[in-house]
Structures are given as structure tokens and as C-alpha cells.
Amino acid sequence: MVKKIIFSILIFFVSLNANIYESNCVSCHKKLPVTIDKYFYRYLLKYSSESNVKNAMLEYMKSPTKDKTIMPEAFILRFGIKKPSNLSNKQLKEALDIYWNEYKVFGKLK
């Protein structure tokens, strides 16, 4: 009985953490004054296709630099360049898939 309860509590917490995008990206980004969708649309404007957007973001997450940012200079001067992500490639890809599905406009335009 006790084991069962502990097990269900464990499953509960695992499922809370299951969405890597919410637990990693959003939890940090919600402290910033610019909402996370703004970055997304800037990438979409610049890189257009799903694979180009995801690749560019993956590169940026792994090694953010001034040359790669799509944000205006004034923004970077104020907030600085973010730190490289400590997630693995696989985790980053998973997070970017969720990020993409959240904001993609294809199929939403009617």
C-alpha cells in the first residue's frame, strides 16, 4: 500500500517535469520582459522553414554569441547574451519541437 502511494507520487512529479520546454525554457523565460513567442517569430521571419528555424535555434542554444543573435543590439546590450544551455542535444531538440508546435503559424491561418 505504502509502496503504491510512493509510486503514484513519483509518477505525478515525473509527469510534471515531463515537458522539458515548460520546465527549462519557459521557467527561465517567464522572468524576462520579452515573452518567448517574440523570439520565435523573429526566427520564423528570418529562417522561414521549420528545419531552418530549429537548426538555427539549436545552434544558438548550444553556443549563443553576439554574431548569431537575431535580437536588436539595444536588447542584447541591456540583457546580455544568454548562457549556453546545459541540456543535451536530444533534450534541446525535444524542447524545440514543443516550442515549434506551440507557435507555428502554419495550419493556424485560415
* Residues in touch with ligand HEC (CB under 6 A): 24-25, 28-29, 32, 39, 43, 57, 60-61, 64, 69-71, 79, 81-82, 85, 87, 92, 95-96, 99
**CB of residue 51 to ligand HEC, shortest distance in Å:** 15
Residue type, 57: M
The residue (of 19 and 64) whose beta carbon lies closer to ligand HEC is: 64
Q: What is the DSSP letter of 83?
A: P
DSSP SS3 for 47: helix
- Asked whether 57 and 43 are in contact (CB, 8 A), the reply is yes
The residue (of 19 and 82) whose beta carbon lies closer to ligand HEC is: 82
